[in-house]
């Protein structure tokens, strides 16, 4: 006789308030087997085998149903074929890839596509997995299990480095040169693929991941090209006054708020004035970034407070897609060449702080950068901007002519002591 139950963290390892594993308990001939479903929730969110009290409860319950169905079919297959049952064998049966599938041209991608909806990850992270799978299909050389090798990963890496960023209509019209996606983006592709291959090892589909032999080989680079707005462009946006309450007005206000706080879009939408303390007449907060969890220090400048006052000391709540769409309209209306987007205000803040003399390590804390190299990008951009200005000034002053000495002759070359007369 076989019975099944959905239980929470049967070993009791999770602390209070900590998410733990949702497990399938299979009882056969009086023996119990606990199999992790890959789904994590709080203990109070699981009642009678159903996930409750969560916004994503429907999605998680659907995933749980799929996983349990697959695992129970594997259990029944073991019994029918008289295969000794244990947790490892149940997983092997549930996620088994036959020898014939080793060189099936899409077997690996098909399996990964099937796994992504089952992962206990945020929707934004899940989208990153789907983008990886799309890239792998475009590449075509890493789609079968037989393609997995250190050499195969290196070839995929070389292909990724040849990818370029998507261009806007303005980029195309201006015939701007296409820009590579950068080391940071390539690293994220490797990290995501590595996570899927680690899962394949866990389920016994492959014995080892090529990435185990490539530890430290692919490092997270830092994207060098940082765009920011000039003081004139910031002033132009500040002087724009769309009709109050419209999407355009909220987009304009939220962007200005980012320019004066450096907060990322996700942090602006989670903004709560109660997190800030009034220190010497200034609103100050030490929090953690939503995206990375890295601590940051934020102080509200008067311009940012003005925005909050228009919304009852809250930030404008704008959907990210609509936000970027409204910023595009603002960009076109003002004739700004740089593409306005939900991260540009933050970039502008970082560049501006360094231009105004803030110390690099303090800007790092303001921005919540884990790695100071991220902050150094802004200093590098400023140095390049200064060099560009010098080049422009030299051109205007026409100083690129042969130098003359103070006596009116040509260039006075100094002779070394051993030079012949």
pLDDT tens digits along 217-242 = 776 655 556 788 999 999 999 999 99
Q: Which DSSP string do the residues of 204-262 spell out, in sequence order?
A: TSSS--GGGGSTTTS------------HHHHHHHHT--PPTTSHHHHHHHHHHHHHHH-
Mean pLDDT of 403-421: 40
Domain shared by 199 and 137, yes or no: yes
Kindly report which listed range (96-110, 168-182, 343-357, 404-418) carries the lowest average pLDDT score.
404-418
Domain shared by 271 and 366, yes or no: yes
**Contact status, residue 303 vs residue 235, Cβ threshold 8 Å:** no
Single residue among 213, 240, 259 that ends a domain in this structure: 213
Query: Which range of residues forms the domain containing residue 163?
Result: 101-213
Domain shared by 388 and 300, yes or no: yes
Domain shared by 250 and 383, yes or no: yes
Domain shared by 254 and 367, yes or no: yes
Q: Residue written as tokens 């602390």?
A: 15
Domain shared by 83 and 105, yes or no: no
Average pLDDT over the chain reads: 82
Q: Binning pLDDT at 50, 70 and 90, where does residue 250 land?
A: very high
Domain shared by 56 and 108, yes or no: no
Domain shared by 237 and 372, yes or no: yes
Tell whether 420 is covered by a domain: no
What are the phi and psi torsion angles at 114 (to 5°)? Answer: -70, -30
Tell whether 333 is covered by a domain: yes
Mean pLDDT of 20-25: 92
Residue 360 has what pLDDT? Answer: 85
The number of domains in the chain is: 3
Tell whether 218 is covered by a domain: no
Residue 392 has what pLDDT? Answer: 62
Q: Binning pLDDT at 50, 70 and 90, where does residue 99 land?
A: very low
**Encoding tokens for residue 194?**
């590595």
Mean pLDDT of 285-304: 88
Residue 373, pLDDT above cutoff 90: no
pTM of the model: 0.48
Q: Binning pLDDT at 50, 70 and 90, where does residue 389 land?
A: low
């Amino acid at each position: 006789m076989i019975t099944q139950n959905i239980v929470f963290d049967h070993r009791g390892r999770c602390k209070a308030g900590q998410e733990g594993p949702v497990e399938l308990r299979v009882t056969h001939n009086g023996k119990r087997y606990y199999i992790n479903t890959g789904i994590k929730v709080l203990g109070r969110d699981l009642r009678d085998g159903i996930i409750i009290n969560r916004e994503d409860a429907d999605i998680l319950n659907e995933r749980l149903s799929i996983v349990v169905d697959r695992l129970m079919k594997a259990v029944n297959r073991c019994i029918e074929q008289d295969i000794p049952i244990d947790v490892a064998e149940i997983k092997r049966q549930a996620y088994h890839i036959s020898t014939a599938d080793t060189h099936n041209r899409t077997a690996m991608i098909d399996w990964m596509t099937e796994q992504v909806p089952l992962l206990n990850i945020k929707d934004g992270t899940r989208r990153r997995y789907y983008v990886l799978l799309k890239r792998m299909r475009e590449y075509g050389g890493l789609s079968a299990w037989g393609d997995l090798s250190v050499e195969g990963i290196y070839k995929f890496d070389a292909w990724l480095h040849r990818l370029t960023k998507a261009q806007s209509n303005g980029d195309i019209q201006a015939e701007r040169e296409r820009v590579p996606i950068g080391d940071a983006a390539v690293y994220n592709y490797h990290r995501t693929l590595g996570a899927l291959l680690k899962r394949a090892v866990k389920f016994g589909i492959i014995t080892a991941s090529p990435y185990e032999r490539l530890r430290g080989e692919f490092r997270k680079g830092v994207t060098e090209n940082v765009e920011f707005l000039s003081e004139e462009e910031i002033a132009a946006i500040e002087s724009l006054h769309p009709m109050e309450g419209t999407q355009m007005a909220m987009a304009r206000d939220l962007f200005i708020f980012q320019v004066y706080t450096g907060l990322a879009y996700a942090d602006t939408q989670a903004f709560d004035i109660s997190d800030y303390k009034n220190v010497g007449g200034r609103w100050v907060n030490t929090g953690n970034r939503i995206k990375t969890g890295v601590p940051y220090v934020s102080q509200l400048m008067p311009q940012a407070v003005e925005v909050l006052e228009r919304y009852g000391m809250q930030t404008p709540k704008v959907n990210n897609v609509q936000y970027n769409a409204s910023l595009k309209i603002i960009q076109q209306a003002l004739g700004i060449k740089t593409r306005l987007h939900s991260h540009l205000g933050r970039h502008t803040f970082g560049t501006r702080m360094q231009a105004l003399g803030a110390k690099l390590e303090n800007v790092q804390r303001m921005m919540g950068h884990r790695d100071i190299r991220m902050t150094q990008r802004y200093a590098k951009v400023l140095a390049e901007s200064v060099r560009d200005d010098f080049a422009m000034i030299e051109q205007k002053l026409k100083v690129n002519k042969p130098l003359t000495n103070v006596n009116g002759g040509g260039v006075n070359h100094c002779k070394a002591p051993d030079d012949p007369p």
